[in-house]
Amino acid sequence: MDNIVLKLSSHTLVLLLFLSFEPVVSSRHRQYWGHGKKLMSSGDNSDLVTGLPGQPQVDFQHYAGYVTVNETNGRSLFYWFYEAMTKAEEKPLVLWLNGGPGCSSVGYGATQEIGPFLVDSDGQGLKFNNFSWNREANMLFLESPVGVGFSYSNTTSDYEQLGDDFTANDAYNFLHNWFLKFPSYRTKTFYIAGESYAGKYVPELAELILDRNKDMSLHIDLKGILLGNPETSDAEDWMGLVDYAWSHAVISDETHQTVKKSCDFNSSDPWHNEDCSQAVDEVLKQYKEIDIYSLYTSTCFASTANSNGQSVQTSMKRSSTMMPRMMGGYDPCLDDYAKTFYNRPDVQKALHASDGHNLKNWSICNNNIFNNWGDSKPSVIPIYKKLISAGLKIWVYSGDTDGRVPVLSTRYSLSSLALPVTKPWRPWYHDNEVSGWFEEYQGLTFATFRGAGHAVPCFKPSNSLAFFSSFLLGESPPSTK
């Protein structure tokens, strides 16, 4: 997931997001795939993953390795790609991005949320995810920018330039060079999806593709974007965070009233107001007592080291960096297990991240990237307008128990678009139960997931797969039982 660190330094709050979580599939839902499927077998065979420790038997191919995005600087991004479980040649390609900035899409999205293999609780193996999104699409996970996960640059100055634009350009170059490895996917229908701070990554990359598609030799068949609990617009995100904390009894009436009275989140520096700064400090202080990413689940109290080498308890008290975890048997300490798994020599060798001897130091989030992030657009709402005008499909969803990018933040941000409603607010169903509510606008669909935290697929794996399927099919989520 992405780690979110809430910084208030010299009363300058940086609204950047991480996220993480671990989907765990009960044993009665696990299944291992047999034989006889038609495979595309169109990838770079040198990147084909074989002998991955603890991997369940499956009947699709998957690839991992590096794509160079800048030859001069020696800048390379790491990816993990899973062909669709069935009829891969007929299904679209979806790029998934986690945010941070600084967190791994491999460590979170691929092996805690929506990929076919989930890191097991001992950090030594993998379990099959019966609700993997590669049931419906060919799934590509990217560790971006350099410094995240296994991605790297041989030029140290690259790490001093990291920001939104840098990341979008490298991701764009990655795609074109990846298509050289996988030419049969170049003309496929393409979507971009992501969570949290990827709420900025995804539309920014989509805009770049849209602009450069004017050169038909560079054309990518982008059809839409899918965003979960996304950071969208700083002012609205902060207002939503505070209002949500108050409406869910995390903060007092007095703190809420002080924020409403003294904070102008639309100003370039709302923190110059001391009353505002202290009130927001109080909001963050109260959230450190629980899991801001999942209001109603437990936090990790293990004494084992987390991904930053600190004890988990210390990290929780100091910066609330641990991500939300799941109800119903989910382990709130899964980040530790991911670190154990991806730092194994045999795992790195199988994923072509190292030769098995000269190990890479993999961490699920890189706090140096987060703390030194260069440019962050205050709002991507103007990009939404541009993408809507271009006819791209945009779906946004919110787990309604997330306090970090709460449903109110997203509703406030989207309301600024002032889009005409085409189908009014109503429940959507999965397995004959209300899964959430949704509304359709001219150019955009917004939906909630009832009882889900920041990384929705971890809380609602079956529901999120059904929702993803509706998105790809261009159908409304089921509005009847």
Asked if 176 contacts 352 with a C-beta cutoff of 8 angstroms, the reply is no
Q: Which residues contact 364 (CB under 8 A, 6 or more apart)?
A: 1, 3, 20, 103, 104, 107, 108, 149, 307, 335, 338, 339
pLDDT at position 121 is: 77
Please give the average per-residue pLDDT across 13-35, as a whole number.
33
Higher pLDDT, 121 or 189: 189
Distance CA 32, CA 59 (A): 8
Read off the amino acid at residue 126.
Answer: L
Q: What are the tens digits of pLDDT across the range 155-169? A: 999 999 999 999 999
Would you state the structure tokens that stand for residue 101, as one six-digit string?
């900035």
Residue (of 347, 290, 335) closest to 308 by Cα position:
335
What is the per-residue pLDDT across 116-147, written as a single tens digit (0 to 9) for each?
999 987 778 899 999 999 999 999 999 999 99
Beta-strand relationship, 444-449 and 433-441:
antiparallel
Domains belonging to the chain, first-starting first, are 27-232+377-473 (3.40.50.1820)
The yes-or-no verdict on residue 327 having pLDDT over 50 is: no
Q: What crossing angle do the helices spanning 253-262 and 274-287 adopt, rounded to 10°?
A: 140
Average pLDDT, the chain: 86
Asked whether the predicted pLDDT for residue 238 surpasses 60, the reply is yes
At 42, is the pLDDT very low, low, confident or very high (cuts 50, 70, 90)? low
Cα separation, 250 vs 258, in Å, equals 15
Query: What is the pLDDT confidence band of residue 298, given thresholds at 50, 70 and 90?
Result: confident
Q: Given a cut of 50, is residue 231 above it in pLDDT?
A: yes
- Compute the average pLDDT of residues 457-473: 96
For residues 437 and 431, what is the distance between their CA atoms, to the nearest angstrom?
A: 15
> Whole-angstrom Cα distance, residue 353 to residue 283?
41
Catalytic residues: 196, 402, 454
* Residue 103 contacts residue 18 (beta carbons within 8 Å): yes
Q: How many residues does the chain have?
A: 481
For residue 335, name the pLDDT band (cuts at 50, 70, 90).
Answer: confident
Give Cα separations from 465 to 63, 130, 393 (angstroms): 22, 10, 18
CA-to-CA distance for 156 and 145, rounded, in angstroms?
A: 13
For residue 154, pLDDT beyond 80: yes
Give the mean pLDDT of 257-265.
97
Q: Are 194 and 202 in contact (CB under 8 A)?
A: yes
- If you average pLDDT over residues 363-380, what whole number do you get? 92
Q: Rounded distance, CA 324 to CA 225, Å?
A: 24
For residue 31, give the 3-state DSSP assignment.
coil
Sorted by sequence, the CB contacts under 8 Å of residue 481 that are 6+ apart come out as: 429, 432
Q: CA-CA distance, 194 to 444, in Å (whole number)?
A: 16
DSSP string, 414-472: HHTT-PPEEEEEEEEEETTEEEEEEEEETTEEEEEETT--SSHHHH-HHHHHHHHHHHH
